[in-house]
Structures are given as structure tokens and as C-alpha cells.
Amino acid sequence: MSRIGNNPVAIPEGVTVDIKDNVVTVKGKLGELTQEISDVSVKVEDGNVTVTRPSEAKDHRAKHGLYRALINNMITGVSQGFTKELELVGVGYRASNQGQKLDLAIGFSHNIVMDIAPEVKVETVTEKGKNPIVKLSSYDKQLVGQVAAKIRSFRKPEPYKGKGIKFVGEQIRRKAGKSA
């Protein structure tokens, strides 16, 4: 029994959900998202979206909770949006952006310039005495996570000094260095 899959998803005001030929389309004030659905049935009734599975087969049980969570993320995304914040920890680490181009100085011999997808809004915050922060926001949760993971992969946090690019609030497991 899927506890998540059985919960109905409430549709807030200003959001429309359309289902045609196993494709769920969600439109809201921030944008429009589509998701192809297979092996489960989706219904919109009384301002709620319900996902039901045809049988107790392992594949159907696995996709029941998955598609319910994806639809919930789509509805949350087009109504409120998602935000990820990355923190650059290290001496001389800097971040700046011109439009959709993110410029990172993270200890290499050259700066890394990355083009960010147009659906994702990028913003950099630099305050004196604090680490630079890169804020990513969009209505597509998967895309925000993918872009954030790509930025983090340029310089992952290392366990000895904690230098690198980390998510705000992420705990880095620290190791003791050489003992003399």
C-alpha cells in the first residue's frame, strides 16, 4: 500500500490541471509543465487530483507514489516555485552573473562561465565578510536541482577544510588532518 500515492493532491486557485492521452498538463501563474503518465490512472475531481493503480503488481505500486509526487511537485512549482541556494566556501571564491550567464571564480586558473537555462532565474549575493551565495529559482523542481547539482560538481566540498560549493544548510562531514 502506498501511503503517498493514496493522498489526493489539492489544486490551489489559479492552477489548472488537464489530462489528455496519458499526459498531465499543469498551468499556473509561473509557467506550464507537462508529464507523461503510464501504468496508473489520474483523475481530477472536486479540486483534487487522485492517482489510482490498476493492480498490486510491483511495477504499478512503484509508479503509484512516484507519479503522485511528480504531479504534486508540478502543482507546487507553477503556483509557488522552487529555490535552491548554493554557498561558495573558500578564500577568493567569487560568483557574479550577467543575465543568464553565471561567472564562478573557484580557485582554478580560469573563471568558469556557465549558461543557465532560461526557465531558471539566477541571482548572486555578495556581502563583505560572508561567503558568496548563488540563488536559483524556477517553477521546475527537477531543472533547478539539475542546474544546482551541475554548479556544485565544479568544486565539491572537501572534508578537511570544508572548501568548495555547498548547498546552504548542508552539513559537511569533517575529518581531522594529520596529527603531529
Structural domains in the chain? 3-79 (3.90.930.12), 82-167 (3.90.930.12)
Q: Mean of the pLDDT values across residues 71-86?
A: 95
DSSP codes of every residue in the chain: --HHHHSPEE--TT-EEEEETTEEEEE-SS-EEEEE--SSEEEEETTEEEEE-SS--HHHHHHHHHHHHHHHHHHHHHHT-EEEEEEEESTT-EEEEETTEEEEESSSSS-EEEEPPTTSEEEEE--TTS--EEEEEES-HHHHHHHHHHHHHTSPPPTTT--EEEETTPPPPP------
pLDDT digits (tens, 9 = 90+) for 21-51: 899 999 999 999 999 999 899 999 999 999 9
Confidence check: pLDDT of 126 > 90? yes
pLDDT band (50, 70, 90) for residue 154: very high
